[in-house]
Amino acid sequence: MSGTIRVMFEPEGKAAFVLPGSLALEAAARAGIIIDTPCGGRGTCGKCRVAVRDGCSPVNATERRILKPRDLAAGLRLACQARLLHDTTVTVPDASRFFEQRILTTGVHRATRLCPAVAKRAVRAPEPSLDAPRSDADRVLDALGGDGLRLDLGALRQLPAALRATDHHLTAVLHGGDVIALEPGDTAGRLFGVAFDIGTTTVVGSLLDLATGHEAAIAARTNPQVSYGDDVVARITYASEGDGLRELQAKIVECVNDILAELAAKAAVPAEAIYEMTMVGNTTMNHLLLALDPRHVAQIPFPAAVRGAVVVPAADLGIAIHPCGRLYTMPNIAGFVGGDTVGVILAADLPTRRKPTLAVDIGTNGEMVLGTRQRLVACSTAAGPAFEGARIRFGMRAADGAIEQVRFGDDVETSTIGDSAPRGLCGSALIDAVAELLRAGILDPSGRLRGPGELPRKLPRALRRRVVPGERGNDFILAHQAETSLGSPILLTQGDIRQVQLAKGAIRAGIEVLKKQFDVDDAGIDAILLAGGFGNFIRRRNALRIGLLPPVEHERIHFIGNAALVGAKMVLACTGYRAQADAASRETEYLELGGLPDFQHHFAEAMLFPESE
Amino acid sequence: MSGTIRVMFEPEGKAAFVLPGSLALEAAARAGIIIDTPCGGRGTCGKCRVAVRDGCSPVNATERRILKPRDLAAGLRLACQARLLHDTTVTVPDASRFFEQRILTTGVHRATRLCPAVAKRAVRAPEPSLDAPRSDADRVLDALGGDGLRLDLGALRQLPAALRATDHHLTAVLHGGDVIALEPGDTAGRLFGVAFDIGTTTVVGSLLDLATGHEAAIAARTNPQVSYGDDVVARITYASEGDGLRELQAKIVECVNDILAELAAKAAVPAEAIYEMTMVGNTTMNHLLLALDPRHVAQIPFPAAVRGAVVVPAADLGIAIHPCGRLYTMPNIAGFVGGDTVGVILAADLPTRRKPTLAVDIGTNGEMVLGTRQRLVACSTAAGPAFEGARIRFGMRAADGAIEQVRFGDDVETSTIGDSAPRGLCGSALIDAVAELLRAGILDPSGRLRGPGELPRKLPRALRRRVVPGERGNDFILAHQAETSLGSPILLTQGDIRQVQLAKGAIRAGIEVLKKQFDVDDAGIDAILLAGGFGNFIRRRNALRIGLLPPVEHERIHFIGNAALVGAKMVLACTGYRAQADAASRETEYLELGGLPDFQHHFAEAMLFPESE
């Protein structure tokens, strides 16, 4: 679009297109890179160092206070302070990244930082002799020094050939006490795992190099179950009839396998080199992947079939990693708060927080957790998939051609993903647009789009001309026909506004109910951590303007990206996190909003927009 | 046949046809019932009590010494003393049976006698509530009081429906710490397992009621792999080429499933009620069932792929017990001494013997173990399947129509299985016939059948007429054309005699080599335990006459039936035996006969028949 700049991120080599003046932090998020900002972007912690080549705002006083002259000379900047003005290149070191930060803080010793559940060990087994004609398995187990180790049937089947292919040198793939596979020769330096976030609407897979901890590739798809209904209740209904469960399971496995194939191709890593998959998802997605009957999740009192982590051979579900590989599903909390929320709890490190901290994961449902190291309470609201583009007339997922940012000046300014002509808008643009419409007085606090005759007198002419009568109430033209790739304008309708009200109202009402549980007011919340597939693209000021979040200083709002996926990566990269996940799953209290007498009251109130900033 | 009597065994209701004058012990063996005879049939231990209705030899002095007047009045007799003269009925109490004895000696407490690896526990799970909307799995695990218990995926899939089918009453099927399946309601009293002896030639399955320990049914089939070669080396060769391994595995699984179907039908127990299968077999049969590459078993130094027990979901191999059921394969000792020998060691209780005891298992191979509680040494000889009917002109397996006993008087007397016209002869009859031919002077110690002109002068005329010139050397007519169902006579040929020499020579040579290992002579062997599918049908005097066994008093020779199968039943009925099996598998030394310089010398010598009794 006119006026956007191109920012290239290294070492990934990923580009993002943003409006000039965007923070390096925001642009990085747009490229899928989550920078760690423990201070909330206040410029006090100095964690978010990046190297910016040029095309950037001058070094400000905050940066001068935090960065040493040597750093400044090397081109280092704080991503929360540096605004990008022209096309440029930004290099993000590992130490500034959210996921790597989480992994790095695992233990005191650097050696403990990567400790995946699957591990490789290369050994040389002794050869058999007539005096000691011991079995292949016994000789290999001895070489592994394995007290209590056992070889799985799959490994036993590979054993005789693997052992003799390279003169009795081989590499064992271990999972707990099981040798799950064998490879000829020494392949210990080559080990991959994959972490999946299976959302109701979007499925994301991340390929991790478990030898280095680096992400080798990432890929996403729309959950193909969407065609069976766009929320979990519709999926449960479908799964409860006839062969529905098997059908939905086959669909998600197909999608997982498509993503696996894409990851394998992107990273040039064969799928057989992947020995473990971890998965987070809401309880229904969890049950559908495992082919567990989810029907009771939709019936009072909404019990899940299983809460705990499930570990099974991935091949049992048809998942196309190594045939002997394993699947670990993150434990759930309750029927409507699943392993994705446990992932957020881990990524946000909630169980160690001293002061009340709120994590909000905005997906098709809105799940939120408030708490401290003493107590965690979670709830779920049926926010609906509005922020993921569904139920919005021109809504779409954050993909190429989606308007992702909207700013009003004399006219509408937008940036589009992929820098192409837009074909719709995604969740972050939806929030931007609604906030700007409120500021401009085009939208009133009750959620009504004003008509051409009711607009504020000082409204710029270009904006005024975008308000047109629609099918129901008025519409706002976000992009004129000539600007889009659709052959039609992109509109924001009165119906779209109502969907935003429902979605943000549900989330906000949940937050209010949680606050009551802890008897804290807005000032008592130490931090709001915003997670979710699109969480990192939200402009905090706009989220506050529409009332999605309670009115707190925007420094208290932190973006933690797709924290559910980060949680899945954490349990993949370090098995020690699995005990933390289990504890979080057991100990987090679940609050059923439907069972609370005052929930409807909170919800009705939260649907309104704030009168002012 | 003319002159046999019919003996009915209770409570089985099984009939056996034997020659008049047979011991009750022998007749029981014929019916597949192994009576425990710790004293070797000397009449000193009194363990072999049975109730005989009538048609029996008078009570002898030995019985009068052992049995109380009260016992005698109740019709009790010693099976090792009572000879059956006419058609009669024999009742065998549990306490006299070999298998039940082995199980009964498991522990001091009667309660420990049945402790299968699969167990059932019926519970009532609490219902979920809005205050505690706990998952189905958590509520059931709590009700099971299960610290460390986990639900398998199969059980999780059954869980929601099973829980609600009968008002939250259900029965968990446990295997170690795993809940492998769930059944609605209380079905704890109904639990079955199946033990298999997979021989190179014969496959036998035994269905055990694991709630009572009783055998509910037994069934046997010829191993269909026979058509790919009649010994293990031929099977290994076939498995090493192309899809051979998969083909042979499919064949044996098909056979196992046929037997399972027969067992299920006989006992009116659905195959889904069977939750565990245990299996013994030689190392090659073990590897072929598990689809493990056996090729190195046939290559110096003959290492097995796996020695230890393998535990896998039976469904992974296509075995049609309950879809969540488990398979346990008895651990092997070496490439040519497998889990069947470990079964014999368990059944014969070799690891507790104070004095050198020899167990000989005669199947297609002959495996033997000599030892004490200090040391056990095993070896294997390629005896060939002669005693199982193969490579013998009119040889057959011990099935209906097989001559199973041969006695010479003025003419040949035989008994046939099923009391029908004979169509062949089985291993026990082969040994009988050779022994009688030696006694009659028709066969010379070198193994040559004398011609009509060379026969002893005093040989009865009817016997003399049975010696006829054959294709190679002379033949002996065991049954005249008019007596058989074949339309031809049943002959014993010079070639058959050579096969018997090879088979018995191999076994005897193995025994001699083991004796040298322990530096004992025949007098130093405390007992010879004769096992094998047909072991219990051998007449000891005849086995000694042909030199199959070293010349010891026949009271030192004990029949322990299909001890390999007994071992499989033991590890099925009582999981405690699995540790014993593992210890026996690890600690038994394997002696490779091919590696011994003097083996050929022993073998050549052992092929000859003894000059006299």
Q: Chain B contacts of A160, Cβ < 8 Å?
A: 292-293, 295-296, 305
pLDDT grade for A123, boundaries at 50, 70 and 90 = very high
A177 touches chain B (CB under 8 A): no
Query: Tens digit of pLDDT for each residue in B47-73?
Result: 899 999 888 999 999 999 999 999 999
Is 70 exceeded by the pLDDT of residue A561?
yes
Question: For position B388, what pLDDT does the model report?
Answer: 81
Distance CA A500, CA A392 (A): 9
Instruction: Assess contact for A296 and A302: CB atoms under 8 A.
Output: yes
Instruction: Assess contact for B222 and B202: CB atoms under 8 A.
Output: yes
B290 touches chain A (CB under 8 A): yes
Is 50 exceeded by the pLDDT of residue B106?
no
Question: For position A200, what pLDDT does the model report?
Answer: 92
**For chain B, how big is the Rg over CA atoms in Å?**
26
Q: Average model confidence (pLDDT) for chain B?
A: 91
Question: For position A192, what pLDDT does the model report?
Answer: 97
Instruction: Assess contact for A285 and A338: CB atoms under 8 A.
Output: yes
Pairing of β B310-313 and β B326-329? antiparallel
Rounded percentage of chain B residues whose pLDDT exceeds 70: 96
Contact flag B130-A592 (C-beta cutoff 8 Å) = yes
Question: For position A112, what pLDDT does the model report?
Answer: 36
Is 90 exceeded by the pLDDT of residue B34?
no
Q: Chain A contacts of B165, Cβ < 8 Å?
A: none
Question: For position B112, what pLDDT does the model report?
Answer: 36
Q: Chain B contacts of A595, Cβ < 8 Å?
A: 130
Contact flag A304-B332 (C-beta cutoff 8 Å) = no
For A246-264, what is the mean pLDDT? 97
pLDDT grade for A3, boundaries at 50, 70 and 90 = confident
Distance CA B554, CA B541 (A): 7
Is 60 exceeded by the pLDDT of residue A276?
yes
pTM for the model stands at 0.86
**B157, B335, B590 member nearest A292 (Cβ):** B157
Is 50 exceeded by the pLDDT of residue A106?
no
Alpha helices in B2-135, H assignment, sequence order: 24-30, 61-66, 69-73, 98-104
Contact flag A307-B161 (C-beta cutoff 8 Å) = no
B587 touches chain A (CB under 8 A): no
Distance CA B381, CA B393 (A): 22
Query: Tens digit of pLDDT for each residue in A314-325?
Result: 999 999 999 999
Question: For position A596, what pLDDT does the model report?
Answer: 87
**A160, A305, A592 member nearest B296 (Cβ):** A160
**B133, B137, B307 member nearest A590 (Cβ):** B133
**B312, B316, B335 member nearest A133 (Cβ):** B335
Rounded percentage of chain A residues whose pLDDT exceeds 70: 96
For B376-380, what is the mean pLDDT? 96
- Dihedral in degrees, nearest 10, Cα atoms A343, A345, A347, A351: -140
Element (H, E) at A99: helix A98-104
**B133, B157, B296 member nearest A592 (Cβ):** B133
Is 50 exceeded by the pLDDT of residue B105?
no
Question: For position A559, what pLDDT does the model report?
Answer: 82
For B565-577, what is the mean pLDDT? 92
Question: For position A587, what pLDDT does the model report?
Answer: 96
Question: For position A100, what pLDDT does the model report?
Answer: 62
Query: Tens digit of pLDDT for each residue in B523-548?
Result: 999 999 988 766 667 888 999 999 99
Question: For position B559, what pLDDT does the model report?
Answer: 81
Higher pLDDT residue, B367 or A558?
Answer: B367
pLDDT grade for A107, boundaries at 50, 70 and 90 = very low
- Cβ partners under 8 Å of residue B175, min gap 6: B117, B118, B119, B275, B276, B326
Question: For position A34, what pLDDT does the model report?
Answer: 80
Element (H, E) at A181: strand A178-184
Query: Tens digit of pLDDT for each residue in A413-447?
Result: 999 988 889 999 999 999 999 999 999 999 999 99
Contact flag A130-B595 (C-beta cutoff 8 Å) = yes
Query: Tens digit of pLDDT for each residue in A23-39?
Result: 998 888 888 788 887 77
Tell how far CA B334 is from the center of its chain.
20
**A128, A291, A307 member nearest B137 (Cβ):** A307
Q: How many CB atoms within 10 Å of residue B73?
A: 9
B177 touches chain A (CB under 8 A): no
Query: Which DSSP state fits B286?
Result: H
Question: For position A64, what pLDDT does the model report?
Answer: 94
Contact flag A335-B301 (C-beta cutoff 8 Å) = no
> Looking up tokens 């490190």, which residue turns up?
A349
Out of B214-223, B346-355, B378-387, B457-466, the most confident range is B457-466
Q: How far is A156 from chain B (nearest CA, A)?
A: 7
Contact flag B293-A153 (C-beta cutoff 8 Å) = no
3-state SS assignment for residue A490: strand
Query: Tens digit of pLDDT for each residue in B334-368?
Result: 999 999 999 999 999 999 899 999 999 988 888 99
Residue of A nearest to B136 (CA): A305
A312 touches chain B (CB under 8 A): yes
Maximal C-alpha separation, chain A: 101
Rounded percentage of chain A residues whose pLDDT exceeds 90: 75
pLDDT grade for A109, boundaries at 50, 70 and 90 = very low
Q: How far is B119 from chain A (nearest CA, A)?
A: 22
Higher pLDDT residue, A288 or B176?
Answer: A288
CB proximity under 8 Å: A 99-158 to B: 128-130, 133-139, 150-151, 153, 156-157
Question: For position B493, what pLDDT does the model report?
Answer: 97
Distance CA B350, CA B353 (A): 5
Distance CA B225, CA B200 (A): 8
Alpha helices in A365-455, H assignment, sequence order: 427-440
Query: Tens digit of pLDDT for each residue in A465-508?
Result: 999 999 999 999 999 999 999 999 999 999 999 999 999 999 99
A582 touches chain B (CB under 8 A): no
pLDDT grade for A1, boundaries at 50, 70 and 90 = very low
Query: Tens digit of pLDDT for each residue in B255-312?
Result: 999 999 999 999 999 999 999 999 999 999 999 999 999 999 999 999 999 999 999 9
Distance CA B255, CA B307 (A): 24
Tell how far CA B76 is from the center of its chain.
28
> Looking up tokens 């016992």, which residue turns up?
B71
B306 touches chain A (CB under 8 A): yes
pLDDT grade for B107, boundaries at 50, 70 and 90 = very low
